């Protein structure tokens, strides 16, 4: 596989220092009004908001759910059937609505399944009608799967293509293998085709050398792609993604360097974040800042950048009393949504878990 030239090392170590946790609802520190939008959910993983205001989200055990005018409908949009498999970190994971959802009603989902005794992942296109959906097409299948390290995040980029994070299924060598889709960030068309300008002709691979990436976000001004990634033993990463670049796993991690391998913008050092979904805030009081959900870290990281988004300028920690946080999402109106995952088998569920919170910018 071709190797890109070594980029300028942008930050060998930037451990988030002990920050005072922001007090939820303290107007002096959180310039948003915080409300619980939904509770009692079953490990919600990803969400997207339609133009008509409906909120679609996945629950990892296998259901796509929908909220209409602030009310959660009791009947799921769809429940996954055979060969769907939920276990460990696998199940129904990523979800994104088509940019033309109002017209074509397409929903894209990422899920784990089992075939001939082997765990894999695949991407489906669903067709929605009156808050119910059916499978329309399998866009991509045979992605590396296992009990853990299934990746699973999907986002549609500014270029209109579907970007996907794929884990290494605990086989680190897959991240460096050209023919494997494990340990990669992938890029395909909304019909499952491979874009002609992908860095490796005929392949959906967009970048490689990843361990278990679970977050994708584009800077609202520079349009640069960033990804979050779980480290092996702490050393969780935020990376600036370039097409065709090698991000080093399992050859390097943390401060380690080798020629032609990309180093992270920031990593957690000896701490563990377990970073998952993330979003750049495009408007409001946190405009231009990156919010990153942390599972093991039980927090949201808020990162500011300089030098055209190439250097982390400041880092803060928020919402440390909410437990495991799976995802952060920004709606078109500037509302920020946060999803907890205290019922995922590794948390300590509190009353009402799991929840989706909404943060509306204060006027």
For the beta carbon of residue 290, count every other beta carbon within 10 angstroms: 26
Indicate whether 257 pLDDT > 50: yes
Each residue's pLDDT tens digit, 338-360: 999 999 999 999 999 999 999 99
pLDDT of residue 28: 54
Give the rounded distance of the alpha carbon of 288 from its chain centre.
18
Report pLDDT for 26. 43
Q: In the chain, what percentage of residues exceed pLDDT 70?
A: 92
Q: pLDDT by residue (tens digit) across 2-54? A: 333 223 223 323 333 222 233 333 445 899 999 999 999 999 999 999 999 99
DSSP 17: P
**3-class DSSP state of 175:** helix
Which of 148-152, 165-169, 214-218, 359-363 is predicted least confidently?
Answer: 359-363
- pLDDT tens for 97-140 read 999 999 999 999 999 999 999 999 999 999 999 999 999 999 99
- How far, CA to CA in Å, does 234 sit from each of 10, 273, 321? 19, 7, 21
Give tens-digit pLDDT for 283-320: 999 999 999 999 999 999 999 999 999 999 999 999 99
Using CA atoms, how far apart are residues 342 and 42, in angstroms rounded to an integer?
A: 9
Q: Average per-residue pLDDT in the chain?
A: 92
- Give the pair of three-digit tokens for residue 219: 């800077």
Taking the C-alpha atoms of residue 320 and residue 11, their distance in angstroms, rounded to an integer, is 25
Q: d(Cα 45, Cα 58) in Å, to the nearest integer?
A: 6
Nearest 5°: phi and psi at 17?
-75, 170
In this predicted model, what pLDDT tens digit does every residue of 160-199 receive, in sequence order?
Answer: 999 999 999 999 999 999 899 999 999 999 999 999 999 9
pLDDT of residue 29: 83
Please, which pLDDT band fits residue 363 given cuts at 50, 70 and 90? confident
85 within 8 A of 112, measured Cβ to Cβ = yes
| pLDDT bracket for residue 240 (50, 70, 90) | very high
- DSSP notation for 116-150: TTEEEEEEEEEEEETTEEEEEEEEEEEEE--SS--
Q: Which active-site residues does the annotation give? A: 149
Strand, coil or helix: 92: strand
* Model pLDDT, residue 39: 98
178 or 210: whose pLDDT is higher? Answer: 210
Nearest to 211 by CA among 157, 243, 262, 175: 175
Rounded Cα distance between 210 and 220, Å, is 24
């Amino acid at each position: 596989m071709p190797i890109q030239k070594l980029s300028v090392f942008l930050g060998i170590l930037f451990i988030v220092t002990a920050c005072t946790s922001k007090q939820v609802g303290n107007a002096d520190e959180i310039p948003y009004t915080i409300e619980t939008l939904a509770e009692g959910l079953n490990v919600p993983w990803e969400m997207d908001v339609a133009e008509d205001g409906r909120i679609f989200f996945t629950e990892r055990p296998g259901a796509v759910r929908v909220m209409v005018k602030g009310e959660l409908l009791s009947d799921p949009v769809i429940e996954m059937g055979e060969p769907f498999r939920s276990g460990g970190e696998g199940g129904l994971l990523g979800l994104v609505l088509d940019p033309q959802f109002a017209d074509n009603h397409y929903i894209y989902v990422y899920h784990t399944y089992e075939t001939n005794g082997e765990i894999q992942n695949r991407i489906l296109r669903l067709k929605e009608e009156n808050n119910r959906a059916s499978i329309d097409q399998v866009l991509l299948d045979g992605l590396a799967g296992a009990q853990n390290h299934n990746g699973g995040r999907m986002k549609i980029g500014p270029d209109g293509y579907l970007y996907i994070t794929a884990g290494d299924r605990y086989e680190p060598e897959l991240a460096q293998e050209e023919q494997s889709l494990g340990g990669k960030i992938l890029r395909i068309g909304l019909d499952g085709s491979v874009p002609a300008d992908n860095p490796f002709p005929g392949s959906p691979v967009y970048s490689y050398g990843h361990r278990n990436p679970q977050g994708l976000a584009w800077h609202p001004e520079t349009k640069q792609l960033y990804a979050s990634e779980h480290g092996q033993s702490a050393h969780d990463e935020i990376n600036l993604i370039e097409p065709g670049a090698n991000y080093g796993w399992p050859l390097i991690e943390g401060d380690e360097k080798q020629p032609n391998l990309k180093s992270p913008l920031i990593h957690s050092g000896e701490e563990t974040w377990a970073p998952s979904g993330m979003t750049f805030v495009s408007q409001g009081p946190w405009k231009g800042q990156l919010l990153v959900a942390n599972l093991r870290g039980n927090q949201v990281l808020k990162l500011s950048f300089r030098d055209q988004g190439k250097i982390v300028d400041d880092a803060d920690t928020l919402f440390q009393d909410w437990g495991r946080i799976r995802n952060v999402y920004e709606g078109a109106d500037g509302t920020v949504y946060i999803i907890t995952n205290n019922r995922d088998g590794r948390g300590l569920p509190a009353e009402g878990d799991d929840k989706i919170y909404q943060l509306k910018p204060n006027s």
